[in-house]
Amino acid sequence: MSVLSALAKVEAVDAGRAVRTATVRHCHLAEQPLVLIPLHLAGEAAAPLAVLIGTGPDNPRLLVVPQPRDRVLRLRFAEELAEILLPHIGRYADDTEPVVIDKKTNETIDRCVDAPQIWVPNQAAVTFLKLLGRSLRFRRTEGEDAVSPTIPLVGRWLTWYCDRAEHPGSTALAPLTAHLSTHWTTGQSALEDANLTALLGWIAPPDNLTGPQAAARAEDPTICPPAGPATDPGFDNVVLAPLINAYDTASDDIARTRAVQRLEQALRTQLEPTWKLMWQGISLLRALPESSSVATRWAEDVRSFSYYAEIAETQAQSRRDSPTSAVRRLLAREQALERLTAAMAYDDPYVMLERRLGGEACLATVIDSEPTRTTLSDKGKSILRPLLRVTTTDPFTPIPGESLHNAAVKNQQAKVLEVDDDVIVLELSGGMGRSTKVPADGTVNLAGDRIVLARFGPNGNFRAATLPPPEETPWTHGGPPETDEEN
């Protein structure tokens, strides 16, 4: 935990409510997101019990599995879920536009204009949907035990969404608790923040309650049911088990229908409070202005969605990654995480403040400037290299020769020439226009200006490792087998 995070928690405890620790919204929020709240049966890893799903606060649809241990009923539930989810996905997959991918040849491809976004209550819901998708995507559509083609297809899409949820910066499948915790700091632990009711109790406590009081109230499952996917053990024993047993022992269709209706009523009492909280949390996030880098990250989600939409009906994801593909996936996620953390810092002064306290950046005051200074390049050509002399009170130790990034000017770097007592002498390059003698207006800071200098750029400093070609890859990682000579 950083010093700033610890201070925010102390302030939250003192104020009795969460402290906002972001000036902008760092996640994409669709105009019409799909909210999905799953419940599963206790003791069964991928046995769905119910789902409440919809694209608006006033039109949720409830799907129920009256006997989750019955595989036929589970497949019927999956088919009903597919009837809702696949048309929603299809509307976005069918809305495409030509995009130029090669300016020299003017080659174009059709790419989706937008992608459907799904919100779930918490990370546990993502984990459950991943298990559910894995259990469905390999179902056979022909031969013995054949199922409807929509069942493996919805399994593939659930798998795609859960894979994207593991990609830093992606919001195709968004757990609400994670994004609320990014923008607000409460006075409770990270584990307690995973409770949606308690988290929102700190952020927007009900009337006449403080954050701690609302969080304590959220611990009572009879007042505030869990957000899932696990249900409360008391509800399981007292309410759910008798209702499932009533369905199992029903003597005719009329009794079975009544048992299903009673089960639906009971599950609504568990799901509807969370449904209201989901839309409350989404409204809180929507009230924040979107950061400038969100559109770029969402465009990556749209590109990934467009690619998978072309192959989803014919190609299921592999059961497990090969060693090489696993390495590539890991490198891609490491790079995405670096880009995400850097972009958040450049977008949000509060996030940058945390990096400043860690010695990765500093807020400096310009005390002198030489905007028109020039030097000779290695080829003897005159090039524009302005000088800045700055001071800072941040815990930042500049190293002569290192290059810093000027957060105030795009693509501008500042090389540390020397450090004289508290004065840092910087040589600027880049981001000053095409002139070799005079910088463009506003691209060189003047005396009195305050600038942020960072050791990382807007996209971070991650450099992916170069992987060997297939023929040079070790056999342990998917390369050619060892020969007798190598042994």
DSSP 91-125: HHHH-EEEEEEETTTTEEEEEES----EEESSHHH
CA 159 to chain CA centroid, Å, is: 15
Q: What's the pLDDT band for 481 if we cut at 50, 70, 90?
A: low
Within 10 angstroms of residue 185's Cβ, the number of other Cβ atoms is: 24
Report the pLDDT averaged over residues 163-184. 96
**CA 319/CA 332 separation, integer angstroms:** 20
Find out whether 264 and 64 touch, Cβ atoms under 8 Å: yes
Peptide bond before residue 60 is cis, with ω within 30 degrees of 0: no
pLDDT at site 453: 94
Q: What is the mean pLDDT of residues 189-213?
A: 93
Structural domains in the chain, sorted by start: 3-317 (no CATH), 349-454 (2.40.30)
Q: What is the pLDDT of residue 439?
A: 86
pLDDT, mean of residues 327-351: 92
Calpha distance 455→50 (Å, rounded): 49
Strand pairing category for 118-120 and 173-175: parallel
In contact, 155 and 132? CB cutoff 8 Å = yes
> Looking at residues 258-279, what average pLDDT do you find?
95
* Per-residue model confidence as pLDDT tens digits over 35-76: 999 999 988 778 999 999 999 999 899 999 999 999 999 999
Axis-axis angle for helices 349-357, 3-15 (nearest 10): 120
pLDDT confidence tier of residue 85, bands split at 50, 70 and 90: very high
* Amino acid at site 142: E
Per-residue pLDDT of 208-266, as tens digits, reads 899 999 999 999 998 999 998 999 999 999 999 999 999 988 888 899 999 999 999 99
Q: What mean pLDDT do residues 186-207 have?
A: 93
Mean per-residue pLDDT of the chain: 90
Burial of 341 (0-12, 13-18, 19+ CB in 10 A): middle
* Residues in contact with 63: Cβ distance below 8 Å, sequence separation at least 6, in sequence order: 50, 51, 52, 53, 77, 80, 81, 84
What's the pLDDT at 484? Answer: 47
Parallel/antiparallel/unpaired status of strands 48-54 and 450-454: unpaired
pLDDT at 241: 93
Q: In this model, does residue 138 exceed pLDDT 50? A: yes
pLDDT in tens, 380-391: 788 889 999 999
Length of the chain: 487
Element (H, E) at 391: strand 387-392
